[in-house]
Amino acid sequence: MSALLEISNLQAGIGDKAILKGLDLTIQAGEVHAIMGPNGSGKSTLSYVLSGKDGYDITGGSMQFDGHDLADLQAEERAIAGLFLAFQYPLEIPGVTNMTFLKTALNAVRRGRGEDEMDAASFLRLAREKSRALGMDDDMLKRQLNVGFSGGEKKRNEILQMAMLEPKLAILDETDSGLDIDALKIVAEGVNAQRSPERGMLVITHYQRLLDFIKPDVVHVMANGRIVRSGGPELALELEKSGYADYRGNEAAHA
């Protein structure tokens, strides 16, 4: 069986500035991978390049996702193919209710997958069910998308969108940033509820504490645009103790 995501020798940057410098990563369906690394190692760039954000130049390597060459697909086509990015800083859209946004997104994805759009009643039932499972009250669906949301509410809302869109691969970019411990637990529970044998996850984080709640199968250390070490969950604990100093040194040596 071929991998859900297979990245080989990926090189990408902005203009003349190289950020990803030959990155390899393979994720099988059902696996949860964590990428850790110091600031500036290229973690967020990886999430943007995978999801197709404009402004990045891909200069080498390849990204295969579930039978697609990602480089051939527009951002929205990647979403339709089943790639989901939970944003580090979710955007506000004034005047658009959470409900409207979810419905527009769900139907866009369904249309793209050749399915019928969901009728209003079924949609409402589904949205309520999924949001309650995340401990959100119905009011949150009526509020304007992310406008005036607390950090925790925004992140929970990202997980709600993921639950509605049912992606094959979910990338969580620094989902723990700005969350207190209670909010972190709620978000992690939401993520764990969505683990399944068909779904892969890539959890990008700076700190080990998120991985106390979302147990990864594989942990990678990223530095200077590459995966420099991979191992089991114990690698995260080791990093927690020793920090990224070794890898920073590595970076300096390359620079």
Partner 1 sequence: MSEAKSTIDRETVEQVAKFGGEHYKYGFESDIDADRAPNGLSEDIVRFISAKKGEPEWLLAWRLDAYERWCTMDEPKWAHVHYPQIDFQDLCYYAAPKSMEDGPKSLDEVDPELLRTYEKLGIPLIEQEMLAGVRKVAVDAVFDSVSVGTTFRDELAKEGIIFCSFSEAVKEHPDLVKKYLGSVIPKSDNYYAALNSAVFSDGSFVYIPPGVRCPMELSTYFRINEANTGQFERTLVIADKGSYVSYLEGCTAPMRDENQLHAAVVELVALEDAEIKYSTVQNWYPGDAEGKGGIYNFVTKRGDCREARARISWTQVETGSAVTWKYPSCILRGDDSSGEFYSIAISNNLQQVDSGTKMIHLGRNTSSKIISKGISAGRSSNAYRGQVSVHPKAANARNFTQCDSLLIGDQCAAHTVPYIEAKNLSAVLEHEATTSKISDDQLFFCRQRGLDPEEAVALIVNGFCRDVLQNLPMEFAVEAQKLVGISLEGSVG
Interface residues toward partner 1, by CB under 8 A: 14-16, 51-56, 74-76, 78-80, 84-85, 87, 90-91, 93-96, 100-101, 104-106, 108-109, 112, 144-145, 161, 165
Nearer to partner 1 by C-beta: 64 or 100? 100
In the complex, the smallest distance separating the C-beta of residue 136 from partner 1, rounded to whole angstroms, is: 18
Nearer to partner 1 by C-beta: 154 or 229? 154
In the complex, the smallest distance separating the C-beta of residue 70 from partner 1, rounded to whole angstroms, is: 13
In the complex, the smallest distance separating the C-beta of residue 175 from partner 1, rounded to whole angstroms, is: 15
How many CB atoms sit inside 10 A of residue 162's CB? 22
234 φ/ψ angles, rounded to the nearest 5 degrees: -65, -25
User: What's the CA gap between 39 and 76, in Å, rounded?
Assistant: 28
In the complex, the smallest distance separating the C-beta of residue 113 from partner 1, rounded to whole angstroms, is: 9
Percent composition of the chain: helix, strand, coil (DSSP 3-state, to 5): 40, 30, 30
In the complex, the smallest distance separating the C-beta of residue 100 from partner 1, rounded to whole angstroms, is: 8
Whether residue 49 contacts residue 23, with contact meaning beta carbons closer than 8 Å, is answered with no
User: What's the CA gap between 241 and 103, in Å, rounded?
Assistant: 44
- Name the residue type at position 169: L
Nearer to partner 1 by C-beta: 75 or 126? 75
- Name the residue type at position 172: L
Tokens (6 digits) for 131: 């949001």
In the complex, the smallest distance separating the C-beta of residue 95 from partner 1, rounded to whole angstroms, is: 3
Whether residue 201 contacts residue 195, with contact meaning beta carbons closer than 8 Å, is answered with yes
Nearer to partner 1 by C-beta: 16 or 137? 16
Tokens (6 digits) for 12: 């990408």
In the complex, the smallest distance separating the C-beta of residue 231 from partner 1, rounded to whole angstroms, is: 30
Nearer to partner 1 by C-beta: 166 or 246? 166
**Number of helical H runs and strand E runs in the chain:** 10, 12
User: Tell me, what DSSP letter sits at residue 72?
Assistant: G
Region at 166 (left for phi over 0; alpha for psi -120 to 50; beta for the rest): left
Nearer to partner 1 by C-beta: 91 or 252? 91
Smallest CA-to-CA distance from 185 within 214, 154, 149 is with 214
Nearer to partner 1 by C-beta: 56 or 207? 56
